[in-house]
Amino acid sequence: MTPWELKMKELVNCNCAYGCPCQFNALPTHGDCYAIAGFEVSEGHFGDTDMAGVKAVAILSWPGAIHEGKGSVEAIVDEAASDVQKEAMLKIMTGQDTTPMATVFSVYASTMTTVHDPVFAPIDLEINVESRKGHINVPGLIECIGEPIRNPVSGEVQQARIDLPSGFEYSIAEMGSASGKAKGAIKHELKDSYAQFAHLHLTNDGPVRKAA
């Protein structure tokens, strides 16, 4: 197993209502689950390969709850990454070189029935976790904009967090709202639905824990 460690920012937009029942081991809001997830490595390595600056996106879909399986995934890695970085990112995203079920990538990979061929394309990705703002753009494939949740009467920005001390993805996630379109092998459209903004710190053996 190749040792790796990554610090990343993520923006995830799924079709659940704000808060997403799946975060609490409940069934998804509408019975099914589909999402767009963007990641940017701020620092890290895969073996001797520096992974800083690598960007990737996953388009995901399940006909029911995630744990029921039968999922589909399409991975996109920024074409600006080197060939070695691309291979490393795909291994991590597909749960390889990882202690089984230790990371979000490994858990999700175990639920997939259909894995589409990876795509290498330019990724325009910006994520500000603290302000709960960001976007994911892949020409011809993905458009997604994330923003803070606002009070429907006053328009005032609202802040909410999910704290998962033993989660397999993050310790703290900032809640937001997002709208997105996926136009690749997996097609779906999201409108003003659940978004999470988080800092991830992962290794082969799972999240690196720190005080909230």
pLDDT tens sequence across 115-174: 999 999 999 999 999 999 999 999 999 999 999 999 999 999 999 999 999 989 999 999
117 secondary structure, DSSP code: P
Cα 132 from Cα 97, distance rounded (Å): 31
Cα 34 from Cα 23, distance rounded (Å): 14
Whole-prediction pTM value?
0.94
| pLDDT reported for residue 123 | 98
| pLDDT reported for residue 209 | 82
For CA atoms 1, 35, 147, 26, give the dihedral sign.
Answer: negative
The enclosing H or E element of 93 equals helix 83-93
Taking residue 172's Cβ as centre, other Cβ atoms within 10 Å add up to 16
| pLDDT reported for residue 212 | 41
Which pair of structure tokens corresponds to residue 170? 């993050």
Cα 30 from Cα 149, distance rounded (Å): 20
Cα 62 from Cα 111, distance rounded (Å): 9
List, for residues 167-208, the tens digit of each pLDDT value: 899 999 999 999 999 999 999 999 999 999 999 999 999 999
pLDDT exceeds 60 at position 210: yes
Contact 22, 65 (CB under 8 A): yes
List, for residues 14-65, the tens digit of each pLDDT value: 999 999 999 999 999 999 999 999 999 999 999 999 999 999 999 999 999 9
